[in-house]
Amino acid sequence: MDFELTDEQKMLKDVARKFAEKEMLPTLREFELKRKINFDLIKKMGETGFIGIHLPKEYGGSGLDYVSSVIVWEQLSWASWTQTLVSLGHGVLAGTILLHCASEEQKKKYLPPLCKGEKIIAVATVEPNAGSDARAIETKAELKGNYWIINGSKNFISAGNIADYIIVLAQTDKSLGPKGMVLIILDKDTPGFSAMRNDLIGDRAGDIANLYFDDCKIPKENVIGKVGRGLQNALKGIDTARLFISAGCIGMAQSCLDWSIKYAKEREQFGKPIGGFQLIQEKIAKMYAEISSIRWQVYYAAYLKDKGLPHAKELSAAKWLSSELAVRASEEAIRIHGAYGCSDEYPVAHHYLDSILSNILGGTSEMHKLTIGRELLGINAMY
């Protein structure tokens, strides 16, 4: 067992941290307050090789293993989980699906511009009546001649409003259940498609949208993977997204700890730094102990994924624990900063708002507990 990062991983960690400090943190507040996306940042991330970091070099990616990739996500999310998600999330979700399921022609068309940050591809599975239960989707895809006709709507889609393309999960035949599902990619300019920004409590410098499909006519060849395999293929992307989200949560928690230590040494009350009080030290110690432990769970899930080994319960444990840790750590960081922590003056309040969202996307904590239960007991509590 080797707990040491390789020289390359140390170098990557350093590059990503410097990027977070230099390119993200100084302008974050401005973009958060305006609720705007920093498109320059997405471009720079593309130039640096962060988008599609885990995708093969032949398609424009950086070809890194999962452990190295999560180290990068952790460092970038140290500045902003939202900006990391809106800049890199599509490379993870859409990129993974395309890599594993698309035809060679589709990979060559979509992956290089995605990795460069020139094109954004959202993935839309969740609907008003189908959240955790993806089998319940109602968006319909009907094959008429050489075209699919798509009707329905999708909710809470990352980068849905700014995407150039959308990969949609649709049902071709309700009687087949999940075996009737298909993934189809469509252009944002397709007549009948519309997107509406959905402002959430966090994600202030990001983009979440509800999408509407009204008789969208899509060429037959825009199917990604096989008809009937849509849900399994979407889950390939979601599995990778869970890992990167978990890494981002560790980054948020670490940031909360780092800023809390700094503040606790500077802020004086009762004639001494608040860090000198045992009750503040307990908060700092607890944050440190939890972050160090759960970080290893995330790295372990990445390691298993790198080896191609089963990792469902390990990744579910990582996602559940890291996202809830990010909420706890950011809450404690706000308490340590007092009223200043509730403002945007210090870089902790935005982690609190974002971390609550991290509990929900990529599967809620409850779903991950049920996955662990299923793996250990061999009993599926959901279906």
Which residues here bind ligand FAD, judged by CB under 6 A?
A: 123-126, 131-132, 156-158, 203, 208, 357, 360-361, 364, 366-367, 382
Distance between CA atoms of residues 189 and 195, nearest Å: 11
305/368 with CB nearer ligand FAD: 368
Contacts of 118 (CB under 8 A, 6+ apart): 46
13/328 with CB nearer ligand FAD: 328
On the CB side of 207, CA atoms within 13 Å amount to 23
What is the helix (H) or strand (E) element at residue 293, kind and residue range?
helix 278-306
11/382 with CB nearer ligand FAD: 382
Which burial class, exposed, middle or buried, applies to 185 when counting CB atoms under 10 A from its CB (0-12, 13-18, 19+)? buried
Contact 255, 351 (CB under 8 A): yes
244/263 with CB nearer ligand FAD: 244
CB of 7 to ligand FAD, least distance (A): 35
Distance between CA atoms of residues 35 and 199, nearest Å: 9
CB of 178 to ligand FAD, least distance (A): 15
Concatenated DSSP letters of 324-349: HHHHHHHHHHHHHHHHHHTSSSSTTH
285/381 with CB nearer ligand FAD: 381
CB of 319 to ligand FAD, least distance (A): 12
**Of the candidates 222, 241, 225, which has an alpha carbon nearest to the alpha carbon of residue 233?**
225
157/243 with CB nearer ligand FAD: 157
CB of 143 to ligand FAD, least distance (A): 23
Nearest residue to the partner ligand FAD, using Cβ: 131
Q: Buried (b) or exposed (e) across 244-258, using 16+ Cβ within 10 A?
A: bbbbbbbbbbbbbbe
Distance of CA 227 to the CA centre of its chain: 26
CB of 354 to ligand FAD, least distance (A): 8
**Residue 62: strand, helix, or coil:** coil
Distance between CA atoms of residues 242 and 359, nearest Å: 11
Distance between CA atoms of residues 326 and 173, nearest Å: 40
CB of 297 to ligand FAD, least distance (A): 20
CB of 371 to ligand FAD, least distance (A): 11
CB of 159 to ligand FAD, least distance (A): 7
131/273 with CB nearer ligand FAD: 131
CB of 336 to ligand FAD, least distance (A): 26
160/347 with CB nearer ligand FAD: 160
125/246 with CB nearer ligand FAD: 125
**Of the candidates 224, 222, 228, 212, which has an alpha carbon nearest to the alpha carbon of residue 148?**
222
How wide is the angle at C-alpha 144 spanned by C-alphas 142 and 150, nearest 5°? Answer: 35
